[in-house]
Structure 1
Amino acid sequence: MKKAYVGVLMFALCLWAISAMALPKGSMALLGFGAIKEVAFSSDSKILAIASEYGVYLYDAVTFTQIRYFFVEDGNSISFSPDNKLLASGSDDNTIKIWDISSGNTVKTLVGHTDWVNSVRFSPNGKLLASGSDDNTVKLWDVSSGDLVKTLVGHKWHIISIAFSSDSKLLASGSSDNTIKLWDVSSGEEVKTFKGHTSDVTSVSFIPGGKLLASGSDDETIKLWDVSSGDVVKTLVGYANWVKSISISPDGKLIASGSYDNTIKLWDISSGKEVKTFVGHTDWVNSVCFSPDGKLIVSGSSDGTVKFWDISSGKEVKTLEHTSSIYSICFSPDGKLLASGGEDKTVRIWDVSSGKEVKTLVGHTSGVYSVSFSPDIDGKLLASGSSDGTIKLWDVLSGKEVKTLIGHASWVISVCFSPNGKLLASGSYDMTIKLWDVLSGKEIKTF
């Protein structure tokens, strides 16, 4: 097992090196989102966060350039702290991570859930972080210490969505048991259970003012609830498939909703009527959110794109996308080139200053999971590791394949040159690390 851990560590170190740096100004935003689970704006509208099956991405919301990448195992949910200094993420590894946005470092890893973490939310006062999980519980954490404060037990099935009231005194949780529960944050006691949905409650959100609560469900409806009485005030009907996400406009007048019918709908809260339908995604819409100024809606989809929509015109303003998922990126030693390896079996080389693709290296028969430039100043060679079990060495200038290194019995997920460029190390799912002579292409050692 030690060999497997070392291989994973090599992979993680490469990702750490990437996440610690921001792409230079004017460079192309290379995206490899996979299915997008949640999108969120910072409260000052400066940063857009994207949680996806391949990690968490932070983008400058004005220039659309990537600021940070945080490696998490299948990122399900994200939440900015009220002061926009921290970002929390919940994932399939059962943990919550709190990140320092400025440095890119992990501040804390919160361990306690025994199943996937589907939803995380900072309290408006910034003191607590709530998390909802497939282990059927909601947990409250002290942000400063990272200590578990309370575990809220009462739901009979998975917790899919959670939301704090604006005064941080109440917490709502939506579950696969078709109910919404209202909790007293101070005591941890259940205040109320809202019943009315006939399928999973996938999204909950308080309407500004705190008197109403909105919920979206797999029963294809959105419901508005009176928080005090627990009664249904309105049921919004118009979808032909599951409602997976809802977001309330900053002025509390509109609801945006995303569905598995690939559309986003805009609703008037007062009348309960549908105002607009935004069409453009080609797969499930998993997350929607309003920009803090209320002028834009951002949607994230399983089609691998993030779309920006102008609310007044209903038109698509911007799309962040890539033709296929990107598994690995690496800068050349002089910072002028960027290499990317992806699901499409190719290695692509990009000019950083112009953002243009310089070369496409074709030869692998499966996805490319790792790329690495040789350490000489102009990065004459590029190594690529693939799920086809091979490593290829490429001449960067000509784009031609120099050698194919064969020896691994499974996916090659990490490649790395030695500082003098004479050796290449590779890590694989076959539980081994191999050391190769770059000049001859021969295997020297297996760990």
Structure 2
Amino acid sequence: MDKKRVAVPLVCHGHSRPVVDLFYSPMTPDGFFLISSSKDSSPMLRNGETGDWVGTFEGHKGAVWSCCLDTNALRAASGSADFTARIWDAITGDELHSFEHKHIVRACTFSEDTHFLLTGGVEKILRIYDLNRPDAPPREVDKSPGSVRTVAWLHSDQTILSSCTDMGGVRLWDVRTGNVVRALETKSPVTSAEVSQDGRYITTADGFTVKFWDANHFGLVKSYNMPCTVESASLEPKYGYKFIAGGEDMWIHVFDFHTGEEIACNKGHHGPVHCVRFSPGGESYASGSEDGTVRIWQTGPASTHDDTEAASANGLLTGNVSVTADEVSRKIEGFQIADEGKTREKEEAGTA
């Protein structure tokens, strides 16, 4: 490949184990936020634009496989190998609810209206928790054919999507009946499934393939072969003209949505890339890796200064961008801040 401009990421340190999931909030009056989950058991909240660390949610006793924020970024949710899904106050960091499961929780997500939490995992059961009545038993959707890997809501919370760790395909469930209404077939297990911001597309990553499906009629729109096994893919939310993918080769690949041509390939991680996501405005995207870092990449023109390129190649730049106290005080005030520097021995409960 010809040498292209080197993109300089913001490198966000703090996790002591691999980063396995990322989620951006929509734009809020306070900006937008990024939450990351890791096998170190402690999800982290960051300023989505600068990568600055806001705080860490402390309480899980095992690897955290999934994380998300509600529409207003006021609450966070996480699913863990400690057999729980938890709801957190994203302002104070306090734990609001803990939902017990009988096995590892691999996936969780808030409904669009923020009233419900959907979870799935090794139990092969999709559960819907009413957050207005958190002590009430959850509604259980018809049994999944396999261990649940990903979940998502679509069609204004009328449909839910799930994929399995041990078989191909994506299943679409009618929330009202609890039954599968459609299955989207793939050869390999779907490790990443994302509903586009405008609700038009479902983006899936399975093995060496990234596919785009019509989210309303469920037909296959585009399918592209990837240069390596990819674990995650994300479509640019504003214009939809490009998408990103990350996987085993440790690179972040950027492709043209219409042609599948590779536009850029950004290097920096020192381990396989487990998750990639575009920010809500499409001006940047984040990647999480086996190396324990989150990297935020700008989509605009990259600097080509020799010193900047060298710093990027060696992973020396960090996300410690200067911001005024007023810009983040609303989010930081009262938050349970953990010392990122101290070492913590945590037993990981469960494996991928």
Read off the aligned partner of 1:233 and give its amino acid letter.
Answer: V
Counterpart of 1:165? 154
Counterpart of 1:92? 81
**Aligned residue pairs, count:** 298
- Across the aligned residues of Structure 1 and Structure 2, the Cα RMSD in angstroms comes to 2.6
**1:132/1:268 Cα in 2 relative to 1: closer, same or farther (>3 Å)?**
farther
Q: Distance in 2 between matches of 1:274 and 1:340?
A: 38
Q: 2:48–2:279: 8 Å Cα contact kept in structure 1?
A: no
**1:168/1:286 Cα in 2 relative to 1: closer, same or farther (>3 Å)?**
same
**1:339/1:252 Cα in 2 relative to 1: closer, same or farther (>3 Å)?**
closer
> Which deviates the most, 81-90 or 198-207?
198-207
Q: Distance in 2 between matches of 1:202 and 1:154?
A: 19
**1:235/1:64 Cα in 2 relative to 1: closer, same or farther (>3 Å)?**
closer
How many Å apart are 1:108 and its aligned residue?
0.5
Q: 1:248–1:290: 8 Å Cα contact kept in structure 2?
A: yes
**1:148/1:286 Cα in 2 relative to 1: closer, same or farther (>3 Å)?**
farther
Unaligned 5+ runs, structure 2: 1-11, 304-311, 321-338, 348-352
Q: Distance in 2 between matches of 1:80 and 1:142?
A: 16
How many Å apart are 1:148 and its aligned residue?
4.1
**1:206/1:160 Cα in 2 relative to 1: closer, same or farther (>3 Å)?**
same
Tell me which of 169, 181, 195 is aligned to 1:179: 169
1:137 aligned counterpart, secondary structure = coil
The structure having more radius of gyration, on CA atoms, is 1
How many Å apart are 1:30 and its aligned residue?
6.8
How many Å apart are 1:314 and its aligned residue?
5.7
**1:258 equivalent in alignment to 2:246:** yes
Read off the aligned partner of 1:43 and give its amino acid letter.
Answer: P
**1:130 equivalent in alignment to 2:118:** yes
Q: Distance in 2 between matches of 1:245 and 1:273?
A: 18
Q: Distance in 2 between matches of 1:129 and 1:155?
A: 17
Counterpart of 1:363? none
Unaligned 5+ runs, structure 1: 1-28, 322-337, 343-367, 371-410, 412-447
Q: 2:22–2:68: 8 Å Cα contact kept in structure 1?
A: no
Counterpart of 2:34? 48
> Which deviates the most, 179-188 or 39-48?
39-48
1:198 aligned counterpart, secondary structure = strand
Read off the aligned partner of 1:37 and give its amino acid letter.
Answer: V
Bigger relative contact order (CA 8 A; separation at least 6):
2
How many Å apart are 1:320 and its aligned residue?
5.4
Q: Distance in 2 between matches of 1:59 and 1:290?
A: 15
Q: Distance in 2 between matches of 1:206 and 1:341?
A: 37
Q: 1:175–1:200: 8 Å Cα contact kept in structure 2?
A: yes
What TM-score do the two structures reach when normalised by structure 1? Answer: 0.61
User: Once the two structures are superposed, what CA deviation does each residue of 1:84-132 show, in whole Å capped at 9, x if it has no partner?
Assistant: 1100001101210000011211111112x32211111111111111112
Q: 2:13–2:292: 8 Å Cα contact kept in structure 1?
A: no
Counting aligned pairs with the same residue, the percent is 23
Higher relative strand content: 1
What TM-score do the two structures reach when normalised by structure 2? Answer: 0.77
